[in-house]
Chains A and B, each alone.
Chain A
Amino acid sequence: MAELDNLITKKVADRYLKREVLGEGTYGVVYKAIDTKTNQTVAIKKIRLGKQKEGVNFTALREIKLLKELTDPNIIALIDAFPHKGNLHLVFEFMESDLEAVIRDRNIVLSPADTKSYLQMTLKALAFCHKKWVLHRDMKPNNLLLAADGQLKLGDFGLARIFGSPDRRFTHQVFARWYRAPELLFGTKQYGPAVDIWGAACVFAELLLRRPFLQGSSDIDQLGKIFAAFGTPKPAQWPDMIYLPDYVEYQYVPAPPLRTLFPMASDDALDLLSKMFAYDPKARISAQQALEHRYFTSHPTATNPASLPRPPQKGDSNSKVPEFNPNEGPTVLSPPRKLRRVMPNRSDGGEENIHNAEKLDDHVSGSRLTAGASSSRNDTIPMSIDFSVFGSRPPPRPTINSADRTHLKRKLDLEFQMPE
């Protein structure tokens, strides 16, 4: 019961020495700190309590719940959590940079071996999540964090979910648009790990091209960009497509040879890429299969993480949140993340929609903090509860309440004469 003892002695805020603020995260301020217990540099997320009087932020709770289950070298570690002055604080391992910063930095040359290493670590993280029945649902370069030792770690589990029951319906409003799989764009509510693979494929392509691969300006345009790259899917390629909720027919375009889009990539890289970009989610390669693809055994060998190129340290303030400087040459920025996640005008999403509404609120309060802009949004969350039923039921009754319990017990005991 070492854990119990542990529980009593820790959870004191003065375990951590606070350093500078790193940025504004999804649901609160992130600052750098030193863990005096381990002398490790950590990043502490202070979770803002919602104005809604709804306690611990829903997104934060998801992240806590899943990260406590996911311990892996390629997944960001949640080191500790503690309440302090009424706010919940999450302690993560400190990450120097992220893959978006690497891709964007024009001074960095990525060799084929480097790309292979980054993709391998990404797929390892996904394979681990999927083995644990967790969908990440927000794959994109700036959620692939880079540790000081070069390890890539999947972060931001604020959109992640457990997908254990195959028949549960999920929202399709996940992922930044450019990384969203075609089945999500066609409105599917039943999906699986293949959506993360599509996102990882987009990251792979982005590593090869050094710019986002499919930059759609709307959901319709996103599908257009996908079809322009891989050809409009034929029914034989993806039989279930025409049954998807938002399916619309697109004008047929043939697929250009993949080689023309990625002139520098090896044959093995292109073969893996095409399998990760398979239209039919059922036919799309899994993370584990992808790791076993010959791309990872063929020459060149993936670069050792410690030797990977990384963006230069900008003094002490080099943070996970890259600064946007419009004068720094051609910069490729993802669209602002909140806008892509939130669909405030949809009213058919059921419970998921409420969560989106919460996220929207976060965003609103966040931008108010930073930009000082005033917002007149009314924050009432739609109620999905039927108020007409007030009749309280009697306490739940035990299922077996007949007089023959003892009889049953005797019978049970007899039946168990089985030899071991």
Chain B
Amino acid sequence: MAANFWTSTHYKQLLDQEEVDVVQQLDRDRGITLEDFKLVKMHISNYITRMAHLVKVRQRVVATAITYMRRVYIRKSLTEFDPRLVALTSLYLAAKAEESTVQARLLVFYIKKIYPDDIRYRFDIKDILEMEMKILEALNYYLVVFHPYRSLTQFLQDAGMMDLMQFTWGIVNDTYKMDLILIHPPHLIALACIYIASVSKDKDSVAWFEELRVDMNVVKNISMDILDFYDGMKNNIEERVNVIFSKLPSRS
């Protein structure tokens, strides 16, 4: 973990789970439940990841984009901020902020490719650029985000478990389907992922963890949250999300 995390705006903005799990009134009026809300955010995270693969940006950009999207929905409703447009724009903005610009027209081009018939996903450049300004405002212009990836490498090296790299990296990617990045310091998320990986691959890491001087209760709780999330993964996400989307205002 870079030494400056503790003085960063990211650290100052960390929230409690209860603060994150709030469905905006406008959405509740439309019958959106907390579970629906989480599911939409997960679906949108997947969508961001998928778009990011097409336009070829680093994992860091994907992670930042998802973080922006999740931060937006702390303050804004799904009703006012169309999640499909927020997804695209978060990716567009994150790419810029992480110094690997992706052109808006390229995103528009790929949406047409992958959703040739579904107009609900179709946006043009103008929509993205308008939303960019709104997202900046919703983020209160805080754009620097820290991620677990860098500390992950350092930890695994230190623990002599570099062979777990790929597996753990995958778990870290999965944590972005949840709100963990809004709640916990990234290095604790990394540790939780390492913990899960080491236990599932039968590596004895207890001694190493004990020497770390971190609050293992927190690490344990994060690990459990992640496993709970895996437990809750259902196959018919697409269907359920479509049902939720039908509750949201339709685009003209």
A interface residues, Cβ below 8 angstroms from B: 1, 3-4, 7, 11, 49, 53-56, 58, 61, 64-66, 68-69, 78, 81-83, 86, 88, 131-133, 161-162, 164-165, 351, 354-355, 381, 383, 385-386, 389-390, 392-393, 395-396, 398-401, 405-406, 408-409, 411-413, 415-416, 418, 420
Best-surrounded residue of B47, B200, B217, B233 (most CB of chain A within 10 A): B200
B103 at the interface (CB under 8 A from A): yes
Closest to A69 in B: B144
CB pair B224 A392 closer than 8 Å: no
Q: List which B164-190 residues lie within 8 A (CB) of chain A.
A: 167, 170-171, 173-174, 177
* Chain A minimum-CB-distance residue to B52: A396
- Determine the main DSSP class of B at the interface with A: helix
Q: Is the CB of B216 within 8 A of A396?
A: no
- For the complex, is B105 an interface residue (Cβ under 8 Å from A)? yes
Find out whether the CB atom of B133 lies under 8 angstroms from the CB atom of A83.
yes
State A69–B129 Cα separation when bound (angstroms).
Answer: 24
Residues of A within 8 A of B129 (CB): 49, 53, 55
The distance in angstroms between the C-alpha atoms of A4 and B76, with both chains bound, is 11
A390's nearest neighbour on chain B, judged by CB, is B113
The reply to whether the CB of B101 lies closer than 8 angstroms to some CB of chain A is yes
Q: Are A88 and B106 in contact (CB under 8 A)?
A: no
Q: Are B96 and A412 in contact (CB under 8 A)?
A: no
Residues on the A chain within 8 Å of B97, using CB = 61, 65
B86 to chain A, nearest CB (A): 15
Q: With A162-B144, A164-B2, A392-B114 in contact, is A55–B227 under 8 Å at CB?
A: no
Q: In the complex the two chains form, is B128's CB within 8 Å of A392's CB? A: no
Query: Which residues of B lie under 8 Å from residue A49 when comparing CB positions?
Result: 129
In the assembled complex, which residues on chain A have CB atoms less than 8 Å from the CB atom of B9?
A: 68-69
In the complex, residue of chain B having the shortest beta-carbon distance to the beta carbon of A402:
B200
User: Could you tell me if A418 and B141 are in contact, using CB atoms closer than 8 angstroms?
Assistant: no
* 20 contacting pairs across A/B (C-beta < 8 A): A54-B103, A55-B92, A56-B136, A61-B96, A65-B97, A68-B9, A68-B142, A88-B136, A385-B106, A386-B56, A390-B113, A392-B50, A395-B47, A398-B230, A401-B233, A405-B230, A408-B196, A412-B199, A412-B223, A418-B210
Closest to A58 in B: B96
User: Which of B75, B217, B227 is A409 in contact with, Cβ under 8 Å?
Assistant: B227
Tell me the minimal C-beta distance from B204 to chain A in angstroms: 10
The interface residues of chain A lying within 8 Å CB-to-CB of B99 are 161, 351, 355
Given contacts A392-B54, A411-B199, contact A81 B141 (CB under 8 A): yes
Q: Which of B1-24 contact A (CB under 8 A)?
A: 2-4, 7-9, 19
Q: Which chain B positions have C-beta within 8 A of A408?
A: 196, 199-200, 227
